[in-house]
Amino acid sequence: MSAYAKPLPTLDDGNRPFWDACREGRLALQKCRDCGHLRYPVSHVCPECLSYESDWTTVSGKGEVFSYIVFHQVYNQAFAEDVPYNVAIIQLDEGPRMISNVTGVANDAVKVGDRVEVVFDAVTDDITIPRFKPAG
């Protein structure tokens, strides 16, 4: 695997199950043991009932484009060769929203309401980034 020069998450005990699941080709989210609320991003407390108890559950990875933008400006030099690129808010079918990219389609083809499904981009031995592609 070649050296990945873009920013990477810092793995810790709280987020490691998310990144481990991505590396295995699964999208896993925290689920509150007390009220069942699915949450993203990772948090030590449920935003619905304030419980500290949660488990990890695999979700479908399907959803739709809630919103998106196409970046034409270089805000971080690590992404200079990617400009223009899209950043999308994906509304997962299970409820939470994730920020990611829609891949496999031209930036001007991405539309709000498009159905998408997760794909995984292994960028290092430890980090596999969830991205989304048009469903179907």
What pLDDT shows up at residue 26?
98
Entry pTM: 0.93
Dihedral sign for Cα atoms in the order 59, 60, 61, 62: negative
User: Which pLDDT score is estimated for 136?
Assistant: 83
CA pair distance 75, 84, nearest whole angstrom: 11
Q: What is the predicted pLDDT for the residue at 29?
A: 98
CA 88 to CA 67: how far, in whole Å?
A: 6
Residue partners of 50: CB distance under 8 A and separation at least 6: none
CA atoms within 13 A on the CB side of 40: 23
Q: What is the pLDDT of residue 7?
A: 96
**Nearest-angstrom CA–CA distance, 9 and 15:** 9
Mean pLDDT for back-to-back runs of 10 residues, the chain (136 residues): 86 97 98 98 97 98 98 96 97 98 97 98 96 95
Q: How much is the pLDDT for 2?
A: 61
